[in-house]
Amino acid sequence: MNRLFIGFALVLSGVAAAQVAAPERISSTATRPIYADLSRPLEERVEDALSRMSISEKLHIIHAQSKFSSRGVPRLGIPDLWTDDGPHGVRPDVLWDEWEQAGQSNDSCVAFPALTCLAACWDPGIARLYGESLGEEARYRGKSVLLGPGINIYRTPLNGRNFEYLGEDPFLASEMAVSYIQGLQSRGVAACVKHYALNNNEVNRHTTNVVIDDRTLYEIYLPAFKAAVERGGAWSLMGAYNLLGDEHLCHNDRMLNGILKNEWGFDGAVISDWGGCHDTRQAIANGLDLEFGSWTDGLANGASNAYNNYYLADPYLKLIESGEVSTDELDDKARRVLRLIMRTAMDPSYGYGSLCSEAHYDAARRIGDDGIVLLRNEKNVLPIRSREGGKILVVGENAIKMMTVGGGSSSLKAQREVSPLEGIRKAAEGRGMSVDYARGYVGDVSGEYNGVVTGQNLSDSRTPAQLIAEAVEKARDADYVIFVGGLNKSPGQDCEDSDRESLDLPYAQDDVIAALVKANRNLAVVNISGNAVAMPWVKDVPAIVQAWFLGSEAGNSIADVLFGDVNPSGKLPFTFPAKLSDSPAHAMGAYPGVKRDDSPIVDLEYKEGLLVGYRWHDTRKIRPLFSFGHGLSYTDFRLGKASADRRQIADNDSITFTVDVTNTGRRAGAEVVQLYISDPDCSVERPAKELKAFRKVWLQPGETKSVSLTVGRDALSYFDAERHEWVAEPGDFTAHIGTSSDKISSSVKFNLTR
């Protein structure tokens, strides 16, 4: 704990810290060293510091010294670098050499909605707010690097970690990630974009060797990372656990040196996932800059002083001393880590940050409000109509279970968490309505992760039949029934290091829902998950809400939408397949891979190629349960006929499409206008259509706004693997404008010339 606060003091005091650390080196000189002079250009400061460091000091800063920190250069007053999970909130501190909690009283946080919810907002402005708020919390906690955002593509609905990511479409993920990163780094905290790349399932994640063609790699799985680097300006990036071309992605020459650093010009630091480094020589040569977690039990496992036995520690020094490797790679790694430190910990201009502020809770609630998706609303069951003396029954374990604890490294110690039952009860009582509760089903009654304990006692000895009988009896006497179920963050559901076993809801929830439908037709199902789920009752339930893992303000956001204080405007960032075999990876038999004989390696071929998510459903004409981009509102919108500013463009031109959007209902609300491009005459096979632009527009009742969406050559291009370049072939294209991938209101043809 003392080390943490000493490190934080160094962060905030900048040059003063350097003077305290080494007064004989700095205070006695007439001028400050270049590296300590914040008025000097960054690269001058980095090179000056590097020139003053010994080989030993350079090695110290490129590997961990604790679970979440790497050593600085005390002699020069360069502070330690502190990292922390995760993408949804600042993880509580663990002990120096162990994974258990440090037991501090000042490391609670605001839990923000999971990134699936952020993606469902379809609003880069909200992503910016998310990053800024999270950055302020991390800055206050003395963290220089936040391990997020996660931007791996949603390839299979069984992936246990999908809830941490930004959906199935590379364009949507790119737009949201760029704003998140810019917001986070505007507060002096580095984004560590993860997991680069192809980390699209948790089962066999350490041993999966992905087999993929270059076109699919560049068109589907790399664009969000490229945008994070080139447009977001990410200061760090995390390698993935899995392999590509039989080479682990935390030291993969092609991915790190060839693509990331050479093609994209990344000047930040590549950080290993914890335990993702496996070989000293590969780590030296293949682009890894900063190694974490290789001895995951700290000093108690392996050799004494395990941190010095990391692959980039003493083994690296021995290779240098023997003359087997030069110091060129070491200088590059140290240079990148110094750049990272100077952009964050050594820049006091960002201030102190703030923790658990009401502004952050407001931001969390707003993100949740905007990301909740109304999937179905027959007969306008929602919003709940207030009636003095009205009765509401809430059913389901997820209405009371804390969701901020669990799920893996994104687990948090939230200062507070409003449950769905609490949020609904507060909103109902304010309207003169009463709320009753029935358990309905028993799922996972535990509530602990890495020493953070919810304190909830969810045990219940009743049988499933007894639980259903109670819920049905109460439902018959209610004006509204709200079932709150879905997944949780237990292993085998939405959780790191494991995948789901099926698309079905766990704990026989389908039986509960089927019984409630018969007891009361005013039923709304609120599904809490970061993944698509099967809904065999979909045509029977009049109202369905996709609510995600919403963090600290979960209950308030859910109540805001259910009672109509907020008009839902979220749109799905991934497709809900009608059944698992409709999902492309599973339809092609391309999950979870094939284990090699006499080897732990599992080869996983991405046989579906480009046809991920809606690209598969649209191209193969397979009707989904709910389409990508789908989301209803409590008002109605009408899109006029789209037009283009020209019908013929040259190779380097852009084209702008305009459509009028009118709110034809009685409530203010927001619609997301989506633009997809088709290239029907291309010489290579392309998906039926692909998202290339979108815009969320807010409208008062009766109001009309004109929405313009511009696309350029990049939106018309495919990746030519043989030529290793992006190609836009002259010919006819079609722009489709609508409100989801399966709800196109108008199309415009245009021609690309040379």
Q: Which residues are catalytic?
A: 273
DSSP state of 258: I
Q: Rounded CA gap, 436 and 580, in Å?
A: 35
C-alpha R_g of the chain? 26
Could you please report the per-residue DSSP string of 371-431?
H-EEEEEGGG--SPPP-TT-EEEEE-GGGTS--SS-SSTT---BS----HHHHHHHHHHTT
> Cα(91)–Cα(404) distance, rounded to whole angstroms?
11
Task: Please name every residue paired with 482 in a beta bridge, in sequence order, or none if there are none.
Answer: 394, 524
Q: Is 408 left (phi over 0), alpha (psi -120 to 50) or beta?
A: left
Q: What is the DSSP string of 498-526?
A: ---S-SSPSTTHHHHHHHHHHH-SSEEEE
The rounded distance, in Å, linking the Cα atoms of 89 and 148 is 10
Dihedral angle over CA of 24, 25, 26, 28, nearest 10:
50
Helix axes 509-519, 464-475, angle to 10 degrees: 30
Closest CA to 199 of 215, 232, 226, 222: 222
Alpha carbon distance 320, 236 (integer Å): 26
Question: Are the C-beta atoms of residues 554 and 423 closer than 8 Å to each other?
Answer: yes
Q: Which of 211, 217, 216, 263 is nearest to 242 (CA)?
A: 211
Cα–Cα distance measured from residue 301 to residue 279, given in angstroms and rounded to the nearest whole number? 18
| Number of CB atoms found within 10 A of residue 595's CB | 13
